[in-house]
Amino acid sequence: MVVFDKPKALTDAPLHYCPGCTHGIIHRLVAEAIDELGILGKTVGVAPVGCAVMAYDYFACDMVEAAHGRAPAVATGLKRAMPENVIFTYQGDGDLASIGMAETVHAATRNENITVIFVNNAIYGMTGGQMAPTSLPGQVTQTSPYGRDVKTVGYPIRVCEMLSALDGPELIQRVAVNNVKNVMAAKKAIKKAFQNQIDGKGFSLIEVVSSCPTNWGMTPSNALKWLEENMIPYYPLGVYKDRSAKEVK
Amino acid sequence: MSEKVLMKGNEAIAEAAIRAGCRHYFGYPITPQTELAAYMAKRMPKIGGTFLQAESEISAINMVYGVAGAGYRVMTSSSSPGVSLKQEGISYIAGADLPALIINVQRGGPGLGGIQPSQSDYFQATKGGGHGDYHLIVLAPASVQEMADLTAHAFDLADKYRMPTMILADGTMGQMMEPVSLPEETTSKVEKPWAVTGTNCEREHNIINSLYLVPEQLEKKNFERFEKYAKVEENEVMYEEYMMDDAEYCIVAFGIAARVSKNAITAARAKGIKVGMIRPITLWPFPKEAIAKAADKVKAFISVELSMGQMIEDIKLAEECRKPVVLCNRTGGMIPDPEQILKTIDTLIGGNN
Amino acid sequence: MAKVTFKTDICKGCGLCIEACPKKLLVIAKDKINKKGHSPAEMTDQSKCIGCAFCATMCPDCVITVEK
């Protein structure tokens, strides 16, 4: 009996991501959630600009490629036109927390009934490793070659903490994909974010702390160690807002 | 056609859009198009539609992109500075071959400019506006009746050619009240098998996209799109000829400038000067042939514009510089009056004699 | 008995599966190169596999199918 195989919500197109890039894991988790909820036929995904720009080739559902940062606005249009469909966005840190911050915050505060998958790897990958809104203090990137200097460029943005201050959103949760246990927890969170939409609960954002071995200049496994030792302390995992839960952490 | 009702131009666009089957409107407050959004805010919830005041013009146009991708009739409206913000989304809509309607009730610019009427977004509207090779079909109403009629027509054209269309109005057109017969209720007559409505697990997935990383593919896509534009130019040109049969001087003007020009023509003819007018209704495609034909018989063209002279370039291109083209203009929210137009004609006659 | 199958052609040799395997049964086949130019991961001793699917869970490219 097959206990683990590629989900149906992924196409057969080989992923273009670098070796060890965790986008592949996160794509699979989204696809598994879609499969398990039986919503492949009515799901429409919105791809970002960034490394995941070609996600429209990888997800087997209908897909829209959005302009940089605009995915939540595009998803809003799709959801308002087709309330019975399931709409998700898949966005990186530059897309969601820099150029698209307004779209993110306002979709959240409207409690727009969409699912947002936010991949935070603290760097702009597609363009070759520039400083992201979530790059850590001191982190060396192409555009912070002496390390992120918080005195001149400010501090990283903690998206979950910030959005959870809003009354609007239904679910704001941060997960990571650095080990098997966390990947399984991430899967559960992503599935819940889709279930919330099906149940009409509203805006559910899952931030997935992930790695970028190529632009961090590390092996894939060292990148996951760096993630655990540096990213997670700055971006603590957990549920930041869950309006339906009786007790919120 | 229904009984005539008295409406503002902005409201006529809104009601005509609803009657054309548009159930999704996204906008952001800006003068002088506010009545349009206010009308939609009142009506849409009553008819099961969407009115959403977006966080920005950028968001509004991207919401439009989403609805258009789903295959539904959708519109946004704004005024000049706001339309500049929408250009990113308009380029993506054009690049993904989506039908959508954008309304620009123009005001003076550049920058924050003013809030009085203007036609100084002509270049932006007719030459593309955003990045990349593309066009919009641009319609220029000159009455409240046309605000309504051209809105309905713009939705049909958008669906027919899978491309964004624009109503290029101005503050006077938006604010003025006139009796109008509202168009009949219709909806899209075009099948949209490309729309992202969910595969229902019965077909390959649809993708709404403007990204082509292989240059050969992007070039091919652009060539195909321009073949479509050639068809638009062939089939969809609209203009009005006014007293052109015996005209020796041809005014070219659209929108409010055309209305003022009609008064100037009456006054000129009373003085025995044979003046006529070509009023482009589609600014893109531009009525090139009509202008070229007029160049065979008139002595000169007068481009009457509420700008520093933008359409005048298209007139010169259309008549291939065979006859002089002079500009009669006001800008910054000012409107030329018939006397100014008459004076321009007088100067022309003096110059020609 | 558990069985893991690798779609060797699409493996990028990132090694995340190797780290994940609790029995340390996986290696990079340094003597092999797939058509993408990567040395793929492979199973050293199928008989010791417990079918936990940890390898597949960490694989970014859906290379691994697990049967039990």
Examine the domain organization and report whether B69 and B216 are in the same domain. Answer: yes
Examine the domain organization and report whether B316 and B228 are in the same domain. Answer: no
Closest-CA residue of B relative to A76 is: B63
Q: Confirm or reject contact between A18 and chain C (CB < 8 A).
A: yes
CATH number where A162 lies: 3.40.50.970
Contacts of B58 in chain A (CB under 8 A): 70, 73, 102-103
- Classify the C-alpha dihedral A170-A175-A181-A186 as positive or negative: positive
Q: Name subunits touching A (3+ CB pairs < 8 A).
A: B, C
The total number of structural domains that make up chain B: 2
Place of tokens 């479509």: B228
Q: At B1, is the pLDDT very low, low, confident or very high (cuts 50, 70, 90)?
A: low
- Tell me which residue of B143, B142, B139, B140 sits closest to B179, measured CA to CA: B143
Mean pLDDT of B304-313: 98
Contacts of A198 in chain B (CB under 8 A): none
Domain that holds residue B148: 4-235
How many helices (H) does chain C have, and how many strands (E)?
2, 4
Residue A70 lies in a domain: yes
Please list the residues that pair with B278 across neighbouring strands: B241, B252
- Tell me which residue of B15, B40, B264, B252 sits closest to B144, measured CA to CA: B15
Q: Vertex A73, ends B47 and B210: CA angle to 5°?
A: 110
Q: Confirm or reject contact between A210 and chain C (CB < 8 A).
A: no
Query: In C, residues 23-52, which contact A (CB 8 Å cutoff)?
Result: 38, 51
Contacts of A213 in chain C (CB under 8 A): 14
The DSSP secondary-structure symbol of C9 reads: G
ipTM, two decimals = 0.97
Residue A66 lies in a domain: yes
Closest-CA residue of A relative to B202 is: A41
Domain end point (choices B178, B206, B235):
B235
Examine the domain organization and report whether B244 and B231 are in the same domain. Answer: no
- Tell me which residue of B313, B259, B260 sits closest to B283, measured CA to CA: B313
Is B241's pLDDT higher than 90? Answer: yes
Mean pLDDT of B245-258: 98
Residue A79 lies in a domain: yes
What share of chain B has pLDDT > 90, as a percent?
97
Residue A16 lies in a domain: no
* CB atoms B207 and A57 under 8 Å: yes
Domain end point (choices B191, B220, B235):
B235
Examine the domain organization and report whether B166 and B216 are in the same domain. Answer: yes
Examine the domain organization and report whether B210 and B323 are in the same domain. Answer: no
Per-residue pLDDT of chain A (249 residues; tens, 9 = 90+): 999 999 999 999 999 999 999 999 999 999 999 999 999 999 999 999 999 999 999 999 999 999 999 999 999 999 999 999 999 999 999 999 999 999 999 999 999 999 999 999 999 999 999 999 999 999 999 999 999 999 999 999 999 999 999 999 999 999 999 999 999 999 999 999 999 999 999 999 999 999 999 999 999 999 999 999 999 999 999 999 999 996 545
On whether the CB atoms of residues A169 and A203 are closer than 8 A, the answer is yes
Contacts of B96 in chain A (CB under 8 A): 65
d(CA A88, CA B66): 12
Q: What's the pLDDT at B351? A: 58
Is C66's pLDDT higher than 60? Answer: yes
The total number of structural domains that make up chain C: 1
Examine the domain organization and report whether B256 and B205 are in the same domain. Answer: no
Domain that holds residue C21: 3-67
* CB atoms C53 and A4 under 8 Å: yes
Partner residue facing A5 (CB), from C13, C51, C65: C65
Q: What's the pLDDT at B353? A: 43
Examine the domain organization and report whether B194 and B214 are in the same domain. Answer: yes
Mean pLDDT of B325-346: 97
Q: What is the mean pLDDT of chain B?
A: 97
Please list the residues that pair with C66 across neighbouring strands: A4, C4
Identify from A59, A180, A184 which residue to disrupt to test chain C contact, counting C C-beta atoms within 10 A and taking the largest count: A180
Instruction: Count the neighbouring beta carbons within 10 Å of the beta carbon of residue A110.
Output: 19
CATH number where B299 lies: 3.40.50.920
Residue A174 lies in a domain: yes
Q: Could you tell me the CA-to-CA distances from B322 to A137, A219, B286, B309 in Å, in that order?
A: 66, 70, 18, 19
CA dihedral B148, B153, B158, B161 (to 10 degrees): -170
CATH number where C10 lies: 3.30.70.20
Closest-CA residue of B relative to A41 is: B200
Domain that holds residue A200: 23-242
Examine the domain organization and report whether B273 and B229 are in the same domain. Answer: no
Q: Could you tell me the CA-to-CA distances from B1 to B4, B145, B182 in Å, in that order?
A: 9, 11, 6
- Tell me which residue of A56, A34, A38 sits closest to B204, measured CA to CA: A56
pLDDT digits (tens, 9 = 90+) for C16-32: 999 999 999 999 999 99
* CB atoms B50 and A80 under 8 Å: yes
d(CA A179, CA A105): 30
Residue A8 lies in a domain: no
Q: Confirm or reject contact between A180 and chain B (CB < 8 A).
A: no
Residue A133 lies in a domain: yes
Examine the domain organization and report whether B152 and B224 are in the same domain. Answer: yes
Examine the domain organization and report whether B192 and B331 are in the same domain. Answer: no
Per the structure block, which two tokens stand in for A25? 């894991």
d(CA B219, CA B203): 28
d(CA A70, CA A62): 18
Q: What's the pLDDT at C1? A: 79
H runs (alpha helix) in chain A: 23-37, 55-58, 71-81, 93-94, 101-109, 150-153, 159-163, 180-198, 213-216, 220-226, 232-234
Alpha-carbon gap: A222 to the closest alpha carbon of chain C (Å)? 10
- Tell me which residue of A55, C63, A5 sits closest to B205, measured CA to CA: A55
d(CA B15, CA B35): 11
* CB atoms A81 and B66 under 8 Å: yes
Amino acid identity of A146?
Y
Residue A170 lies in a domain: yes
Place of tokens 């291939």: B320
Q: Confirm or reject contact between A119 and chain B (CB < 8 A).
A: no
d(CA B307, CA B140): 15
The total number of structural domains that make up chain A: 1
Partner residue facing A4 (CB), from C12, C14, C56: C56
Partner residue facing C65 (CB), from A4, A180, A184: A4
Is B178's pLDDT higher than 80? Answer: yes
d(CA B146, CA B152): 10
- pTM of the model as a whole: 0.96
